[in-house]
Amino acid sequence: MQASTFTRALSRFAFAATIALAASVASAQAWPSKPITIVSPYPAGGITDLLSRIVGEELSKALGQPVVVENRTGAGGAIALATVAKAAPDGYTLVMGGSAPSAIVPALNRNITYGPKDFEAIGYVAGLPIVLVAHSSIPAANLNEFLAYVRANSGKLNCGHHGIGTGTHLACVQFAQMTGTKITDIAYKGAPQVNADLLANRVQLYFATLPTQLQYVRAGQMKAYGVASPERAPSAPEIPTLEEQGLKGLNLDSWNALYAPAGTPKPIVQRLNTELVKILNIAEVKKRIEGTGSIVRPGTAEQLHKLTADEFVHYRKLAADANIRME
């Protein structure tokens, strides 16, 4: 190709790119001009659904457009995430993702068609603290005594969880790895079934969401040895974190966060993050979210992107090391 021909081709390419960029910016500036949908991966009435509705209600006020919550359940949240990953990247379809559907499920299940790269991170919404609880008969007054008890009883203890590949299952696996012990993990349908066997001493330990366990802990029916979160939970400040007691690296928040399909214009992502941070700093909104037992943690889109990618890599390695696979 002659230099003049090459120059003309390059000029046409640059001109087309400029026009495309201008159109994208203009579209972002006109956004939103119609209703927005937040897809919730779990059924109505759960914490993820509740957070979706709280955020949606406030976003509607801030953006001047209706925000509709659509519950699209199944496959551990993967159906909702896979659907949104294929949606038009125009800022009108969002998803309330989180630790399980955004990081754990795609990390463990090679049949899942999406991953962190298929989404634009908007912002962290809230984390639901996980607490390590045990049967009340265990003769350990604090975490260090409990760890000594676990090591002395390697191969004799059962850890309850909600099914292969769930966060509660991986917590059992990771705890056994960190303590260098053999712990039998037993799958149940959910918290009520695990708690029934924990109270009956058929299961000795359980990593559970804090709100479901507080009634048992405060009644003396279970012992709480620490919260697997970076900081103590506002709903139970008397329970120390595992980290502050010396067990580092077991941060297991079940978190929720807002995402858009990959390719959503940056100005829209930035606007959504700005509004989300404002929403999470409203005193009444924070009170409503903390009423679920969750911890509000406003942050940047970049922080959420890093969290999602890091957890995806962490759980993929953990699953490979423990030979765990979901189908």
Is 4 a domain residue? Answer: no
Number of domains the chain contains: 2
Is 154 a domain residue? Answer: yes
Residue 116 is classified by DSSP as: G
pLDDT per position as a tens digit, 211-260: 889 999 999 999 999 999 888 888 899 999 999 999 988 878 789 999 99
Among 204, 224, 245, identify where a domain stops.
Answer: 245
Instruction: List the single range of 7-21, 91-105, 192-206 with lowest mean pLDDT.
Output: 7-21
Q: Which helix (H) or strand (E) holds 133?
A: strand 130-135
Q: Do 92 and 239 lie in a common domain?
A: no
Residue 66: give its domain's CATH number.
3.40.190.150
Is 22 a domain residue? Answer: no
Question: Within the chain, what is the greatest distance between any pair of CA atoms?
Answer: 85
Sheet holding 130-135, edge to edge: 184-187, 158-161, 205-209, 130-135, 222-227
Confirm if 74 and 317 have CB atoms less than 8 A apart.
no
Look at 88 and 129; give whichever has higher pLDDT: 88
Residue 254 is classified by DSSP as: E
pLDDT per position as a tens digit, 99-155: 989 999 999 888 899 999 999 999 999 998 999 999 999 999 999 999 999 999 999
What distance in Å separates the CA atoms of residue 188 and residue 24, rounded to the nearest whole number?
49
Q: How far is CA 213 from the centre of its chain?
A: 20
pLDDT per position as a tens digit, 45-57: 888 999 999 999 9
What is the per-residue pLDDT for 23? Answer: 46
DSSP letters of 191-237?
Answer: HHHHHHHHHTTSS-EEEEEHHHHHHHHHTTSEEEEEE-SSS--TT-T
Q: Do 187 and 52 lie in a common domain?
A: no
Instruction: List the single range of 102-111, 179-188, 280-289, 317-326 with lowest mean pLDDT.
Output: 317-326
Is 11 a domain residue? Answer: no
pLDDT per position as a tens digit, 163-175: 888 888 989 999 9
Please determine, for residue 160, whether its predicted confidence score (pLDDT) is greater than 50: yes
Whether cis (ω within 30° of 0) applies to the bond prior to 32 is yes
Q: What residues make up the domain containing 69? A: 31-127+254-322
DSSP letters of 25-42?
Answer: HHHHHH--SS-EEEEESS
Mean pLDDT along residues 175-179 = 93
What is the per-residue pLDDT for 1? Answer: 47
Q: How confident is the model at residue 20 (pLDDT cuts 50, 70, 90)?
A: very low
Q: Which helix (H) or strand (E) holds 47?
A: helix 47-63
